[in-house]
Chains A and B, each alone.
Chain A
Amino acid sequence: MTLALDVPVQLASSRRRRLWIERVTGLGFAAPAFALLVLTMLAPLAVLIVLSLTNYEFGGVDLDFVGLANFQKALADPIIRRSLLNTLIYVAVMVPGGVFGALLIAILIHRRTRSRSLYEVIYFLPVTSTLIAMATVWQFLLHPSLGPINGLLKWLGFAPVAFLSEPSTALATLAVIGIWQILGFNMILFLAGLTAIPRDLYEAADIDGCSGGIDRFLTITWPLLGPTTMFVVITTMITAFKIFDTVAVMTRGGPVGSTEVLLYNIYLEGFQYFHTGYAAALTFIFLAFILVFSAVQTFALDKKVHY
């Protein structure tokens, strides 16, 4: 009799012991990640908030709390306003080209059988290249007198264009280089999305009388690519907003500040001029935009593109 009563108690305690082991193991496994999370993300964020409310300059001895003065200064500063505008213009040029160019190429490549592999490799090459190295090559390609692009323009009868030294063309030129670098990446994402569309749908549509190329695209392909397109657009927007490398290496913000972008100004203020407090405030403005883009992605993906 006593044995029959003992067994459930033993089971219960061994189960509790297992749960306890699971908890400890879980904590142990997650601990290093959590520690790094605090050290490299949360603590710096907290420090950044504090810094943005001061006038601290790195290497300086004392600092004062200035409240929101840094933010007010940033939003009124014509340099920062121009910087924001430049960044948004860059995004506005790069995203449509990088997304719809990639979509077009993906659709064209999708049905090829023998040449698909070759095209995939060619279009993806720029993604793997080291942008800084290629930036030098682009500088030479676009050179007003020595570069082949202007050579081609001259041969066609046009006047040469100083792409990177003209304030009116410099930013757009950087955007084209940005498109060049990201097209292959987005193309692969679109190809994955296209492959996920069942072929039966196209056959069914064919029977229903919808068989023209444009018709099929609008009725089936485009709606079903919705989630993929949204994802590609948002990630391209975020990547475009973080533009820095080509500016730092090719134009240094010139000519006449026409290619100064937000991240470049943050870099200058924070690590060249060491206006740490001010740069911290700028970083928060930068983060605000990124968070808005990410939030749009989360909500739009949930609501709009579900059918």
Chain B
Amino acid sequence: MPASALPTATVSPAHSAARRFASLVLIHGVLIAGALFMLAPFIWMLVTSIKPPAEIFSAEIALWPKQFYGVENYRFAMEKAPLLRFALNGVIICAGILVVQLLVGIPCAYALAKLDFPGRNLLFVLVLLGLCIPVQVPAMPLYIGLAQLGLLNTYFSMMVPFFLSVFAIFLFRQFFRSFPDDIINAARLDGMSEFEIVWRIVTPSAWPAIAAFAVFSTVAHWNDLYWPLIVISDAKLAPPPLGMMFFADAETGSNYGALTAAATILTAPLVLAFLIARRRFIDGITMTGVK
């Protein structure tokens, strides 16, 4: 009778440890290569923004500047273009859009989730349809309408197409649907009006979804170029992407030191906000994506 009926694995501990180590090296190798690809523009942007023109335009490519020229580049960029103004415009526009999106979307989502009223199904179908229509489609008629009303080149015109977020309505409706009816009925018996119920009871419970949507909305509208490009020609009102475009135009496009300094200033707010509130950003994407 053989010593064992089953064949035994003959892998020594050292062998499997070596294999694990090799696979770890491979995995991290790939991850680090990808990370370098992701980070390269940021690193290059920061480094170039502190280099003097002589080094930027030299034939040899070096990573670290020999001469620190940062102050001059950043000062030039800030003088040539109202970069802080662009960032401020971004804040104004994103805040304005978000506030209206929530004020309009939350009650509507609640009504679709919890109340029965005529036209409810039709409204929901329209909401679903709206999800498929990107803002570039109604752009031209909206532009013509705003032009007729003389409202071009205003903050309002930049915000108008985005006041209604069908995405917010869809997302919040999902959340509100799972809110227990008993609590709502108890509140009604207590004499609370539906209005109070929406804002005092149901909305706080959906706070994660609201925060996630806020992140989503802010990132989308801070970085939007198409619509502001259409309605704004006054640089004083430009949000960051449009501002950068104006700046790169005016700046003959060869002062890379100043250009990358401007890029740094305009990219910094969102990146810093992301680094501070990482979890919110990532949870936001997960929540809005995984229906």
Contacts and interface: CB of A to CB of B under 8 A. Distances in A.
Interface string B112-152: 10011111100100110011111011111111110100000
User: What's the dominant secondary structure at chain A's contact region?
Assistant: helix
Contacts of B48: 137, 140
A30 B271 contact: no
A283 B59 CA distance: 46
B95 interface: no
A240 interface: no
A28 B233 CA distance: 38
B56 interface: yes
Interface residues of A, number: 91
B170 to A, nearest CB: 11
Interface stretch (A35-43, A77-85, A165-173): A35-43
A25 B115 contact: yes
Nearest to B142: A44
A177 B260 CA distance: 17
Interface stretch (B10-18, B68-76, B160-168, B203-211): B160-168
Given A120-B282, A146-B56, A189-B289, A41 B164 contact: yes
B237 to A, nearest CB: 16
B117 A108 contact: no
A51 B141 CA distance: 9
Contact of B164 (A40, A137, A271): A40
A146 B111 contact: no
Given A37-B130, A242-B134, 9 more contacts: A22-B116, A27-B117, A40-B161, A42-B126, A43-B141, A122-B38, A180-B38, A231-B289, A245-B241
Interface of B: 27-28, 30-31, 34-35, 37-42, 44-45, 48, 56-57, 59, 61, 63, 103-105, 107-108, 110-112, 115-120, 123, 126-127, 130-134, 136-145, 147, 160-161, 163-164, 166, 169, 194-195, 198, 219, 222-223, 225-226, 229-230, 240-242, 244-245, 248, 256, 259-260, 262-264, 266-267, 270-271, 273-275, 278, 281-282, 285-286, 289-291
CB-CB nearest 10 A-B residue pairs: A26-B117, A44-B138, A26-B115, A151-B61, A33-B108, A36-B164, A44-B141, A29-B107, A133-B263, A29-B111
Interface of A: 19, 21-27, 29-30, 32-34, 36-37, 40-45, 47-48, 51, 58, 101, 104-105, 108-109, 115, 117, 119-134, 136-138, 140-141, 145-148, 151, 180, 183-185, 188-189, 191-193, 196, 228, 231, 235, 238, 242, 244-245, 248-249, 263, 266-267, 270-271, 276, 279-280, 283, 286-287, 290-291, 294
